[in-house]
Amino acid sequence: MVVGAAEVLPRVERGITRDSRLTAAQRRHAAGDRLHLDPRPFDAFLVRLGPRTRYAVNVPPGARGPFITRGAVVRAYAAFYFLPAIQARHAPRVFHYRFP
């Protein structure tokens, strides 16, 4: 898995950058836009994180979809968006997200 991530992800990222007509900010927010998440809290919190910084997520459960709650979606998206920081159950830095 590590080899795949180390070799495949950079190629995918280069392909997206080269072939996409989106700006860097649009690419960065594309998944969150499709999930109807407000990008501002994510961007504001991201500047406070460094590689391997541990953070927790404080989000209400929100509406339940067919499989998971909106809160679970935010936690999963945060784990992706804040990489290479590390999401933990308890941490000194806490990301707060509230649904409109």
Residue 20 has a CB neighbour count (10 Å cut-off) of: 12
Q: Which amino acid is at 88?
A: A
Contact partners, residue 41, CB within 8 Å, separation at least 6: 95, 96, 97
pTM: 0.75
Average pLDDT over residues 43-55: 95
Strand partners, 94: 56
Looking at residue 27, its pLDDT comes to 82
**Coil, strand or helix at 23:** coil
